[in-house]
C-alpha cells in the first residue's frame, strides 16, 4: 500500500509538471513579454510616454519587438495636431496637444501625451558655401554693438568684428568674433582652403592690408576677391584663366582642402568673398600649424563633376548654372507588399549632391515598416549636401494581407530585412 501511494504521488507530480510546462508555454506565446527599460530603448507598455515635437518634425515611437506582435492599432486623438501611421511614426502638424494611443490584441492600450510646439526660428544658413557656422547669436549682438559704436563715434572704431586663424597643416580657416571681455575666442565660421605646397605659405601674425575684386596671379591666371596678408601672400579664389566667372580651373578647385598653391591661401568664391566683404583692413590673420583643424572642425568640400562648366558652385552670381541645382533622391517610390514579405527601405534608393556626386551614405530615413502587420506606413528620405542644400522625398508603403494580393504582384524593392528605426524615449 505504501508503495502504491508513493507511485501515485510521483505520477501526480509528473503530471502537474507536464501540464505546468504546457500552460507556461501557452501563456508565454499569447502574452506580450515585458522587458526592462534600457538607456537605448524601452517597452512602450511599461510606462506612459510624454513626447514633445516641433511642428513639421516627425519621430517614430518605438515599442518592444515582443509587444509589436500584439499591436493592433495606432491612433491620434487629434489628426489636425498630429498624425500617426501604422508603424508608430508621429508627424507633428501644428501647435497644440494630442494623445497618441497604441492598442493591443489583449485589450489593453498605452497612451502617449504629445505636445506640439511652434517650429523654432532657425539660424540663417547660406546655401552657397560649405562653411560651418556657429554662435550666430553672439555674432549678431557684436555686429549691432559695432554698428552703434560706429554711429556714435567721430573717430574710427578700432575694434574689428573678426580675427582669422589659418591652420596651414589642416587647410582650414576659422573666423572668431570677440567675447564679453573683448577677446577673440568665439568661433563663428570655418572654411576649407588650400595653402602652399611644401610649406610655401608663411606662418605668423599679420594684418589684411588691402582688398581687390580681381588680382593677377603667377602663371598668367587670376583670382577673385583677393585680400593681401603679407607681401605677395593673399587670400583669393581658385585661379581663373581670364577675368570671367566661367573660366574656373576645375582641376584646381577640386583640390580645395589640401595643399595646392604656390603660397597664397585659396578658397571657394563664397568664402574669400566673405573675407572681402566682412573682414576690413587691419583684420588680424594668424597662420599656424596644428593637427586639430579648429573648434568647428573642417568643412567637407564639394567636387565639380562637370569639367566643361567653369563655374565655382559657391559663386552666387545670378548667371551661375549651379544656382538652381539641389540634391536629388532617386528610387524613392510608393510600394505595396503582402504581409510576411522581407522589405529593405534603403534598397534601390540613392542620392546625389548639387554637383552630381553620390551622397547616398548621407540619406536619413524616418519611418518604421512592420511587414507582419497590414497597414499604411509613411517613410521620409532626406539628405543635405556640403552646400547645405536639402531635399526630401516621402513614400507610402502599403502592407496588405497576403490573401488580398494577387499572385502576380511583386514588391518593387529588393527583399532584405528592415532594421526598425526607433525613437529615443524622452
Residue length, the chain? 426
Please report, for the chain, the start and end positions of each structural domain, with discontinuous segments joined by +: 44-117, 132-315, 328-404
Q: Report the pLDDT value the prediction gives residue 68, as an integer from 0 to 100.
A: 87
Q: What are 244-290's pLDDT values in tens digits? A: 999 999 999 999 999 999 999 999 999 999 999 999 999 999 999 99
Helix (H, G, I), strand (E, B) or coil at 253: helix
Q: Residue 156: its pLDDT value, please?
A: 61
* pLDDT for res 122: 81
pLDDT given for residue 404 in this prediction: 58
Residue at grid coordinates 559704436:
149
Q: What is the Cα 298 distance to its own chain's centre?
A: 16
Look up cell 532657425; give the residue.
Answer: 122
Per-residue pLDDT at 157: 59
Residue matched to cell numbers 608663411: 202
Q: Provide the pLDDT for residue 164.
A: 98
- Domain 132-315 CATH (choose: 3.30.300.30, 2.40.440.10, 3.40.640.10, 2.40.10.10): 2.40.440.10
Q: Looking at residue 256, what is its pLDDT?
A: 98
User: Do the Cβ atoms of 363 and 383 come closer than 8 Å?
Assistant: yes
Three cell numbers, residue 85: 501611421
Q: What is the pLDDT of residue 24?
A: 32
Tell me if domain 44-117 and domain 328-404 are identical in fold.
yes
Those residues of the chain that have pLDDT short of 50 are 1-43, 45-46, 407-426
Helix or strand holding residue 27 (H, E): helix 2-30
The pLDDT value given to residue 158:
72
User: CA 184 to CA 203: how far, in whole Å?
Assistant: 19
CA distance 164 to 176: 6
pLDDT of residue 9: 36
* Cα–Cα distance, 253 to 291 (Å, whole number): 23
pLDDT score of 262: 97
CATH class of 44-117: mainly beta
Class of domain 328-404: mainly beta
Grid cell digits, residue 362: 548621407
Q: Which cell goes with 77?
A: 486623438
Q: Residue 215, Cβ neighbours under 10 Å: how many?
A: 18
Q: How many CA atoms lie within 13 A of 399 on its CB side?
A: 20
Q: What is the pLDDT of residues 169-212, one digit of tens each?
A: 999 999 999 999 999 999 999 999 999 999 999 999 999 999 99
Share of the chain residues as helix, strand and coil, in percent rounded to the nearest 5: 20, 30, 50
pTM: 0.81
Distance CA 61, CA 43 (A): 10
Amino acid at each position: 500500500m505504501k508503495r502504491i501511494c508513493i507511485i501515485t504521488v510521483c505520477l501526480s507530480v509528473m503530471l502537474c509538471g507536464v501540464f505546468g510546462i504546457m500552460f507556461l508555454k501557452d501563456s508565454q506565446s499569447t502574452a506580450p513579454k515585458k522587458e526592462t527599460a534600457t538607456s537605448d530603448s524601452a517597452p512602450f507598455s511599461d510606462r506612459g510616454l510624454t513626447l514633445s515635437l516641433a511642428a513639421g518634425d516627425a519621430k517614430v515611437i518605438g515599442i518592444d519587438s515582443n509587444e509589436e506582435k500584439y499591436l493592433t492599432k495606432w491612433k491620434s486623438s487629434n489628426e489636425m495636431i498630429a498624425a500617426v501611421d501604422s508603424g508608430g511614426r508621429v508627424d507633428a502638424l501644428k501647435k497644440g496637444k494630442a494623445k497618441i494611443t497604441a492598442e493591443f490584441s489583449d485589450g489593453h492600450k498605452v497612451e502617449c501625451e504629445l505636445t506640439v510646439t511652434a517650429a523654432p526660428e532657425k539660424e540663417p544658413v547660406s546655401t552657397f558655401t560649405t562653411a560651418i557656422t556657429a554662435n550666430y547669436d553672439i555674432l549678431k549682438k557684436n555686429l549691432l554693438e559695432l554698428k552703434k559704436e560706429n554711429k556714435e563715434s567721430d573717430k574710427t572704431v578700432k575694434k574689428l568684428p573678426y580675427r582669422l586663424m589659418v591652420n596651414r597643416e589642416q587647410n582650414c580657416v576659422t573666423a572668431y568674433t570677440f567675447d564679453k571681455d573683448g577677446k577673440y575666442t568665439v568661433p563663428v565660421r570655418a572654411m576649407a582652403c588650400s595653402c602652399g605646397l611644401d610649406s610655401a605659405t608663411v606662418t605668423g601674425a599679420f594684418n589684411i592690408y588691402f582688398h581687390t575684386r580681381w588680382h593677377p596671379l603667377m602663371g598668367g591666371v587670376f583670382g577673385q576677391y583677393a585680400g593681401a596678408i603679407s607681401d605677395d601672400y593673399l587670400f583669393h579664389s581658385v585661379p581663373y584663366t581670364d577675368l570671367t566667372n566661367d573660366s574656373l580651373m576645375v582641376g584646381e578647385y577640386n583640390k580645395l582642402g589640401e595643399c595646392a598653391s604656390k603660397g597664397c591661401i585659396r578658397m571657394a568664391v563664397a568664402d574669400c568673398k566673405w573675407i572681402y566683404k566682412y573682414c576690413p583692413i587691419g583684420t588680424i590673420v594668424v597662420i599656424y600649424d596644428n593637427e586639430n583643424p579648429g573648434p568647428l572642425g573642417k568643412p567637407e568640400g564639394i567636387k565639380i563633376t562637370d569639367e566643361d562648366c567653369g563655374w565655382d558652385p559657391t559663386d552666387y552670381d545670378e548667371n551661375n548654372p549651379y544656382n538652381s541645382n539641389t540634391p536629388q533622391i532617386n528610387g524613392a517610390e510608393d510600394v505595396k507588399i503582402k504581409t510576411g514579405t522581407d522589405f529593405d527601405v534603403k534598397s534601390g534608393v540613392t542620392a546625389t549632391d548639387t554637383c552630381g556626386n553620390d551622397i547616398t551614405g548621407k540619406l536619413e530615413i524616418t519611418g518604421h515598416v512592420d511587414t507582419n502587420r497590414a497597414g499604411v506606413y509613411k517613410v521620409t528620405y532626406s539628405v543635405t549636401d556640403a552646400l547645405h542644400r536639402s531635399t526630401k522625398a516621402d513614400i507610402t508603403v502599403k502592407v496588405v494581407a497576403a490573401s488580398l494580393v494577387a499572385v502576380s504582384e511583386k514588391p518593387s524593392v529588393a527583399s532584405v530585412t528592415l532594421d526598425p528605426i526607433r525613437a529615443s524615449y524622452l
